[in-house]
């Protein structure tokens, strides 16, 4: 399955708010009564459908393809620990998500494009692979091209994109020098996107 490139509002109407996909909010979600009704509807259906929807929410939010997500699930299973959390950790430590979490792009798709265009340096080496797995002590810097600096400052000046030190305790960013650092691996409490990751693992377990 290829990466979704269609209308994003259509997706959040179906699955609810996906902060990594878009900052748009469905009109239905603005009304608390409609929100409650939507959540009740989502709870109905077969166990398979519930697991499928949870998997789709994860895929759309982080902008990964079906094959990519399956590889992450397999890697999470290979490691020691809670498979669901390890899956979320792998997704959260992707370079495009780190750029998004630092407030340097409004969405993960925008961060992916930013990385693809060669604006990002990891430990002084250019990295244009959005799925690059960041590790503790990695230093994130950027191209010195005027267009890159203008784009970075523009995004940082938007209030909604300011880095939240409370929910980003694994990250550090100097807005004056435009240099970020990975302090450690993301912890459960720092994951903003709330999802039942075990339902995703169960979905793939049934297909194994």
Quick one: pLDDT at residue 157?
77
Q: What would the mean pLDDT of 39-53 be, rounded to a whole number? A: 74
* Structural domains for the chain: 8-90+193-207 (1.10.1050.10), 95-185 (3.10.290.10)
pLDDT tens-place string over residues 131-181: 999 999 999 999 999 989 988 888 887 755 455 555 688 999 998 899 999
Of the candidates 102, 105, 124, 101, the one whose C-alpha atom is nearest the C-alpha of residue 114 is 105
Tokens 């938007």 locate to 158
First to last CA, the chain: 18
Structure tokens at 53: 């929807």
| 77 token code pair | 């299973």
**Do residues 94 and 104 make contact, with C-beta atoms less than 8 angstroms apart?**
no
Instruction: Tell me the per-residue pLDDT of 84-95, one tens digit each, with 9 for 90 and over.
Output: 999 999 999 999
Pick from 2-11, 46-55, 92-101: least confident: 2-11
> Which pLDDT score is estimated for 32?
46
121, 177 Cβ separation under 8 angstroms: no
Q: DSSP secondary-structure letter at 189?
A: G
Query: Which residues have C-beta within 8 Å of that of residue 44, sequence separation ≥ 6?
Result: none
């Amino acid at each position: 399955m290829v990466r979704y490139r269609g209308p994003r509002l259509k997706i959040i109407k179906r699955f609810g708010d996906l902060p990594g996909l878009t900052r748009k909010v469905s009109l239905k979600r603005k009304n608390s009564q409609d929100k409650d009704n939507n959540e009740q509807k989502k709870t109905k259906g077969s166990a398979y459908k519930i697991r499928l929807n949870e998997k789709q929410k994860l895929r759309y939010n982080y902008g990964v393809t079906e094959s990519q997500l399956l590889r992450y699930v397999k890697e999470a299973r290979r490691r020691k620990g809670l498979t669901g959390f390890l899956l979320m950790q792998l997704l959260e430590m992707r370079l495009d998500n780190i750029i998004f979490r630092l407030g340097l792009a409004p969405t993960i798709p925008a961060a992916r494009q930013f990385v693809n265009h060669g604006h990002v340096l990891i430990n002084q080496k250019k990295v244009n692979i959005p799925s690059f797995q960041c590790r503790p002590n990695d230093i994130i810097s950027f191209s010195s091209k005027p267009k890159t600096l203008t784009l970075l400052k523009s995004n940082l000046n938007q209030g909604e994109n300011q880095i939240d030190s409370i929910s980003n305790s694994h990250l550090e960013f100097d807005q004056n020098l435009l240099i970020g650092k990975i302090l450690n691996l993301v912890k459960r409490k720092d994951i903003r996107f709330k999802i039942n990751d075990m339902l995703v693992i169960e979905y793939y377990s049934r297909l194994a």
